[in-house]
Structure 1
Amino acid sequence: MSTTASTGSRELTPVSAESLAALLVARKRPPRPGSLSTSLTFGWRAVLKIKHVPEQLFDVTAFPIMNLLMFTYLFGGALAGSPGDYIQFVLPGILVMSVVMITMYTGVSVNTDIEKGVFDRFRSLPIWRPSAMVGYLLGDALRYTIASVVMLTVGLVLGYRPGGGVGGVVAGIALLLVFSFAFSWIWTMFGLMLRTEKSVMSTSMMVIFPLTFLSNVFVDPKTMPGWLQAFVNNNPITHLASAVRGLMAGDWPAGEIAWSLGWTAFFVAVFGPVTMRLYNRK
């Protein structure tokens, strides 16, 4: 009984305001995290999701490989005379298509976190507001890089030989990653606007499929009807595929690179502010 009484008395001992204040101000308040550090932290969070759910890598490994094998061996002989010749043309295009298509998962991830209530916690933190969005995009950039490496590895096994060497391949992938980072802002906007994950997925597919298939990813648009060529030649995916294909082949298609970078700036300038406006109002 004496032990219990003494324990209870210690727990009920009053704390003076002076001692509490001295404890709280004993050390300097830690500095507020900067925009770069918080963005990298959220990017690392996205990477940890891949670590704990490795099935997410299916769409950046098995799906691109399946596409490359199907289009090369099903249509290579009819379109280019042989699969070996066709893969020189189609591999950069399928690389662009595969990476662009998986950008929609950024919006899906955003919508999932909103449904779970995680974003309420993010918005209450004393951090740079766009860091959560930028973190998603940085994490997905790793997925784009993995998809590019997988595609190129399989392509080399199948006979693809980039005329631009390592430098051309790195330049092409870098341009693709920059474009995809900007393109992802569209799906981030959809993730904030739409109510469910399925609606984000279906809306994204309705936009991505016409852009990727009505382009020069698979064939040269010269054989298409004139009205269709007008759309294909002004399609941002066409400009990107031509730029990546030229860089990997050892050329320097300045016009196509300029168009790709122009579309990149347009996506960031238009959809970035709209996304942040929706995020602040959510």
Structure 2
Amino acid sequence: MDSEALATFLMVHRQGGVSAAATALSRTQSAISRRLALLEEELGAVLFERVGRGLRLSQAGEALLPHAEKVAAALGDAVAAVQAAKSDAAGTVHIAAVGTLASSGLAAVLARLRTSLPGLDIRLQTATSAEVSEKVRASDIAVGLRYYEDPSPDLLCKVVHHEQLVVACAPSHPLAGKRLKSLVRLSKERWLAFPQPPRRTEPHAEAIFSQFLVRGVEQVDWSAVDSLTAQKRLVEAGFGLAFLQQSGIAEEVARGSLALIHVADLDVRVPVACVVRRSAFLSRATHALLAELERGEF
């Protein structure tokens, strides 16, 4: 077994099939199939099962996956360490964040970092909390920002911020700017919320609906909207209410395009955790990014 075989295995898993993996690796399908067959022959186990037109990991493949990821991550660390030693350039930092955290506050943090490290290339992508952890674990990115800490032993997590959630509404809403005793008063309203990914949970959405459950409201009328910007625009237009992070709508509230409904029995603060892979090589730029994030000013 060698690193190339494990890299092929990982790519087939991530792309969901041999054809897509071959395209990603700029190889022929026959070369990928042959490399995978040799690895399975060496291990004496089938690593994938066919599902429709795609492939999914077998039980043996599931067992191999974390070890293959660690090998790939270690090789990536080795290359990154050598490149860092060869150059004084700031380099590139890859960061993934839950979409609702990619606000003007985070943009300000990244702008400060780029000012302190001229030439730094920052690559930001958004994902769910679970996907952020997966990307860090697979070494696709160096730093992740997600809701709540991840207990995985492969990851190091630190809570760096708490997001205050508030009830946002259109300025024309009858309750705009009003103070209510309980959230129950809003249980008959139409709500906008992020969709729940299949077989996964998104803590931001869970925190929202749990507020109604603890008050004895088992169902609310809601629509799934997977974009923070879309949620804000729809709320502005009067299509519903939404729980949104206070920092993320400060500009809209200040200019009057969004308003708040103040609820006396509502105080939801969702912890935001910074995630890195345990024992990963962290460049000078990555350390600087972590220091900025740990200030919690976003």
TM-score tier, shorter chain, comes to under 0.3
The alignment's TM-score, normalised by the length of structure 1, stands at 0.25
Higher strand proportion (structure 1 or 2): 2
Higher helix proportion (structure 1 or 2): 1
